[in-house]
Amino acid sequence: MSTPAAQVFLASRNAKKLDELRRILVGQSELAAVQVLGLDDVAPYDEPVEDQPTFEGNALLKARAGVAATGLVSIADDSGLCVDALNGMPGVLSARWSGPAVAGDARSTDERNNALLLAQLGDVPDERRTAHFVCAVAVAHPDGREIVVEGRMTGRVIREVRGSGGFGYDVLFAADERPDLTTAELSREEKDAISHRGHALRQLAPLLARLLSD
Q: Which of 19, 40, 41, 78 is catalytic?
A: 78
Q: Is 169 annotated as belonging to a binding site?
A: yes
**Number of C-beta neighbours around residue 195 at 10 A:** 26
Q: Is 210 annotated as belonging to a binding site?
A: no
Q: CA triplet 58, 193, 57: central angle to 5 degrees?
A: 10
Q: Is 199 annotated as belonging to a binding site?
A: no
How far apart are alpha carbons 69 and 95 in whole angstroms? 24
Q: Is 78 annotated as belonging to a binding site?
A: yes
Q: Which has the closest alpha carbon to 48: 13, 16, 94, 18?
A: 13
Alpha helices in the chain (DSSP H): 15-26, 55-70, 109-120, 188-194, 196-213
Q: Is 197 annotated as belonging to a binding site?
A: yes
Q: Is 13 annotated as belonging to a binding site?
A: yes
Q: Specify whether 110 is catalytic.
A: no
How far apart are alpha carbons 212 and 208 in whole angstroms? 6
Q: Is 45 annotated as belonging to a binding site?
A: no
Helix (H, G, I), strand (E, B) or coil at 9: strand
Q: Is 6 annotated as belonging to a binding site?
A: no
Burial zone of 106 (CB within 10 Å; 0-12 exposed, 13-18 middle, 19+ buried): exposed
Q: Which residues are designated catalytic?
A: 78
Annotated binding site for substrate: 12-17, 79, 167-170, 191, 196-197
Annotated binding site: 12-17, 78-79, 167-170, 191, 196-197
Annotated binding site for Mg(2+): 78
